[in-house]
Amino acid sequence: MTTRYYLWTVGCQMNRADSEKLAAGFDRLGLKATDRIERADVVVLNTCSVRQHAEDRAYSKLGRIRDLKKERPHLKVALMGCMVGLKTDELERRFPQVDAFARPQQFGPIMELVEGPAEDLGGEFWPTTYAVPEGPTSFVPVVHGCNKFCTYCIVPYRRGREKSRPMDEIVREVAYLTAHGVREVTLLGQTVEAYGHDLDDQPDLGDLMRELSSLERLERIRFLTSYPRDMTGRILEAIAALPKVMECFSLPVQAASDAVLESMRRGYTKAEYVAKVAEVRALMPAAGITTDIIVGYPGETGADFQETRELLEALRFDKVHVAAYSPRPGTIAWRKMEDDVPADVKSERLHRVEEIEGRISQEINERYVGTTQQILVEGVRGTQPFGRTRTGKLVHLDVPARIGSLVDVRIEHAGPFSLRGTPVDALVTV
């Protein structure tokens, strides 16, 4: 009888990429996917602990599984991802319904559960097993882990230290993806510019982009997430010079006050961050730049927050992902700092950032109206095709367009979250 698996994923693109890899491995072993948990023989929850909300969703799934397991004791359950640390005793005690615990990228315990081939588990998990892509865009992890240890972040404890994948392995994967219809890849790393420093000949992200640019069927290259200090002039020059690399940056600042940045151990000052953004814009004036902000970090005063507001007004990001600080167990901030900003103050600061963000995003997006932008058509929502500009703006199209095609689109309408437009070809024939 065929073994059915149910794979549930929350969190960042890295988690999604891990799940795609695991699913490809399961498929290779002859397991079949199901989207109904009650029909599964194997359940894998790929979790995130960056926010309390993501953990709460996993707890709710675990409650459902506890009940299911009473009816179906043969059900095998694995908990993977950032909720799983080095020591699992506490998790084992709390969740006896779970049979295997696996940290991110560590698929061994799950393979044991499904009696998969253990000999395939050295280095990158099944380096030649790829998921069949579902659309024209795909995520490709290039460097795993993080060496930075920002005080609020659990990632280095769960995903381990930076480990780059060999360039030829990445090129092979992207060639496979493009042979299966992918036109745009997003190169992933917690700090993607850290790519290569641990490899023998120390290539950098620019070298990898150059290599990938030679793949004929690949049209576009994106990259996530940037870390200011790792983003060298050499990498920026490669991004600016390579036509396939998109001018689209995700560059978290987190806070503007030097005192808060130091307390977070972010490794840069406000002035250094501002200089990095200036460097990007000097080379690529139209670049789309998004950022992340944490409000209410321990010790953040009104004056500190005022600096964040001023920075947002001065740098005018395309999008700001804002979160109120909440201590994550196991992090340095959780161990050593008092969560001393009251909840109502955090909430007020969060809304202030959202207000600034909404206004500036709208203003930036309005500048696109009347321009022509190249869009890669990624899919269709309802009846409307959608895709992104080279700067990362979401665009809905007024007329049908083939998924996977690159089209020049005249932008006619701008909202704070997306644009709307008509392909130039369609305009000509009207």
Take residue 216 and report the two structure tokens written for it.
């004929």
Angle at 213 between CA 211 and CA 215, to 5 degrees: 90
**Which stretch, 95-103, 145-153, 332-340, 416-424, contacts ligand SF4 (CB under 6 A)?**
145-153
Give the residue, chosen from 150, 209, 246, 289, that forms a contact with ligand SF4 under the rule CB under 6 A: 150
Residues near ligand SF4 (CB under 6 A), total: 10
Q: Would strands 42-47 and 4-9 be described as parallel, antiparallel, or unpaired?
A: parallel
| Single-letter amino acid code for the residue at 112 | E
Kindly state whether residue 146 participates in binding ligand SF4, applying the rule CB under 6 A. Answer: yes
**Which stretch, 16-24, 60-68, 100-108, 151-159, contacts ligand SF4 (CB under 6 A)?**
151-159
Alpha-carbon distance values, 207 to 79, 195, 238, 387 (Å): 36, 10, 8, 27
**Which stretch, 143-151, 294-302, 314-322, 350-358, contacts ligand SF4 (CB under 6 A)?**
143-151
- What is the footprint of ligand SF4 within residues 167-226 (CB under 6 A)? 190-191
**Among 271, 279, 267, 278, residue whose Cα is nearest residue 227:** 267
CB of 151 to ligand SF4, least distance (A): 9
Closer residue to ligand SF4 (CB): 66 or 148:
148
Q: Which residues contact 257 (CB under 8 A, 6 or more apart)?
A: 270, 300, 301, 303, 304, 305, 307, 308
Q: How far is CA 205 from the centre of its chain?
A: 17
Give the residue, chosen from 110, 155, 323, 364, that forms a contact with ligand SF4 under the rule CB under 6 A: 155
Closer residue to ligand SF4 (CB): 55 or 219:
55
CA dihedral of 389, 191, 238, 127, whole degrees rounded to 10 = -90
Give the residue, chosen from 156, 206, 228, 385, that forms a contact with ligand SF4 under the rule CB under 6 A: 156
CB of 333 to ligand SF4, least distance (A): 11
Residue 333, number of CB atoms within 10 A of its CB: 21
Kindly state whether residue 149 participates in binding ligand SF4, applying the rule CB under 6 A. Answer: yes
Residues forming contacts to ligand SF4 in the complex (CB under 6 A) are 146, 148-150, 153, 155-156, 190-191, 227
